[in-house]
Amino acid sequence: MRKQIILSAFLWVIISLGTFAQQALWGAAEIISPEINSDNTVTFRFQAENAKEVRLTGDWLPMDGWKPGYIAMTKGEKGMWTYTADALPSELYSYSFLVDGIKCTDPNNVYLIRDVASVTNVFIVGKGQADLYKVNNVPHGTVARRWYNSPGNGMMRRATIYTPAGYETSKEKYPVLYLLHGMGGDEEAWIALGRTSQILDNLIAQGKAKPMIIVMTNGNVDQEAAPGESTLGFAKPTMQLPHTMDGKFEETFMDVIKFVESNYRVKANKANRAIAGLSMGGFHSLHISRLYPNTFDYVGLFSAAIMPNDKVKAKAYENFDATLKAQMDNGYKLYWIAIGKTDFLYKSVTDYRANLDKMGMKYTYVESEGGHTWRNWRVYLSQFTPLLFK
């Protein structure tokens, strides 16, 4: 049979081209961009024969007030615009092109991450902190998107759950970190922008963090799931959602814990539960940990919003001082507060610390450079997780 129906080498070329032409609506030329050079300089390339001006904007460039900063690219042969950035510190960076004033993603870089309602290209510069953000040759955990029942919210809800390498085949029980996103985020934020699975795979392989389960919930109780993953379809994400900070998430958080503790092999006790979050997720972590004041031995507040809007009247926010005192009196191993020096929440966190000092509630404080950025939150995660469950 083989001879009659053979596909010649020629036909295989056609298959490749044909499939490519149909699969890839617009084939990209063989341009490498960005190119991370061996000295950590980074070369960007963008082909635009007829453009008058191509600029590059990226999150390592100084801001122009509230606007992103821009760098002009240089036009070379065949309309190839290039720019090489000076050696960059190890980090995960975002960037985009501005072509005659129009934002364009890089057609030669398929790596994009959504942050709320924006999608931008990313790249990683290694040889430093960001080596933790890379997939390295180490055992890898499993990342699952799983739906659980939240009776308190009257809906099935979606969570992203990291189980460490070996979880499925070992007979052991594991500790759990509940890791919460900020405003505009969802259950995809920490795994995508936060590089949680890469950071934990690497820290665990290095013996720096204990193997743990990480549960990344969706803190917007009005949502079943992240944008595009619910019955709302491909709706445009928004920063502000109803009921994000009205106490409902905190009051129904036991739904998450019950689900995890009845569906995973976990050590279901205070010594093996941690909760942490960034910005609004820090707010949620603060309130959940004092609302259930004998539940978590580890609390992490990353660039945390501290107190609710004065107009919000919710049971979860009543008896603040008393519940915080109960949490203190019950004891815990770590209450970890981190914030950047230029974070717009710096003052409220400073005030909160002063009050903790006044009431004698112990905490560990880490002050970093920078502001309210994922760059800081990835660092905080990589600093916080090695302190857990020891």
Q: Using CB under 8 A, which residues numbered 302 to 341 contact a copy of itself?
A: 305-311, 320-321, 324
Q: Which one among 42, 45, 55, 59 touches a copy of itself, defined by CB under 8 A?
A: 59
216 close to 181: Cβ distance less than 8 angstroms: yes
* Separation between Cα atoms, residue 110 and residue 98, nearest integer Å: 17
Residue whose token pair is 């922008």: 193
Handedness of CA 179, 257, 268, 214 (dihedral sign): negative
95 close to 59: Cβ distance less than 8 angstroms: yes
Q: Which one among 37, 76, 87, 144 touches a copy of itself, defined by CB under 8 A?
A: 144
Rg (CA), the chain: 24
Shortest distance (Å) from residue 279 CB to a copy of itself: 6
The one segment of 70-78, 331-339, 350-358, 382-390 that binds a copy of itself by CB under 8 A: 350-358
The one segment of 206-214, 247-255, 266-274, 369-377 that binds a copy of itself by CB under 8 A: 369-377
Shortest distance (Å) from residue 253 CB to a copy of itself: 21
> Of residues 270-309, which lie at the interface with a copy of itself (CB under 8 A)?
279, 305-309
Looking only at the bridges linking them, the beta strands covering 364-368 and 334-340 are: parallel
The one segment of 112-120, 291-299, 326-334, 378-386 that binds a copy of itself by CB under 8 A: 112-120
> Of residues 172-231, which lie at the interface with a copy of itself (CB under 8 A)?
182-184, 225, 227-231
Which residue number, 98 or 388, has a Cβ lying nearer to a copy of itself? 98
User: Does 254 engage in binding with a copy of itself (CB under 8 A)?
Assistant: no
Number of residues that bind a copy of itself (CB under 8 A): 114
Which amino acid appears at position 327 of this protein? Q
- Tokens found for residue 43: 């070369």
User: Does 21 engage in binding with a copy of itself (CB under 8 A)?
Assistant: yes
User: Does 115 engage in binding with a copy of itself (CB under 8 A)?
Assistant: yes
Give 331-365 as a DSSP string: --SEEEEEEETT-TTHHHHHHHHHHHHHHT---EE
The one segment of 70-78, 105-113, 171-179, 210-218 that binds a copy of itself by CB under 8 A: 105-113
Which residue number, 206 or 271, has a Cβ lying nearer to a copy of itself? 206
Looking only at the bridges linking them, the beta strands covering 155-163 and 213-216 are: antiparallel
* 85: enclosing H helix or E strand: strand 80-85
- Tokens found for residue 321: 């001082």
User: Does 110 engage in binding with a copy of itself (CB under 8 A)?
Assistant: yes
The one segment of 204-212, 236-244, 286-294, 380-388 that binds a copy of itself by CB under 8 A: 236-244
> Of residues 65-104, which lie at the interface with a copy of itself (CB under 8 A)?
66, 68, 94, 96, 99-104
Which residue number, 58 or 219, has a Cβ lying nearer to a copy of itself? 58
Q: Which one among 158, 248, 290, 378 touches a copy of itself, defined by CB under 8 A?
A: 158
Q: Which one among 89, 119, 127, 242 touches a copy of itself, defined by CB under 8 A?
A: 119
Closest CA to 33 of 68, 85, 71, 69: 85
User: Does 62 engage in binding with a copy of itself (CB under 8 A)?
Assistant: no
**DSSP, res 14:** H
- The phi, psi pair for 304, rounded to 5°, reads -75, 140
Residue 36 CB contacts under 8 Å (≥ 6 apart), including other chains: 42, 123, 124, 125, 126
Which residue number, 23 or 38, has a Cβ lying nearer to a copy of itself? 23
* Separation between Cα atoms, residue 342 and residue 330, nearest integer Å: 34
Shortest distance (Å) from residue 116 CB to a copy of itself: 5
Closest CA to 173 of 308, 103, 273, 76: 273
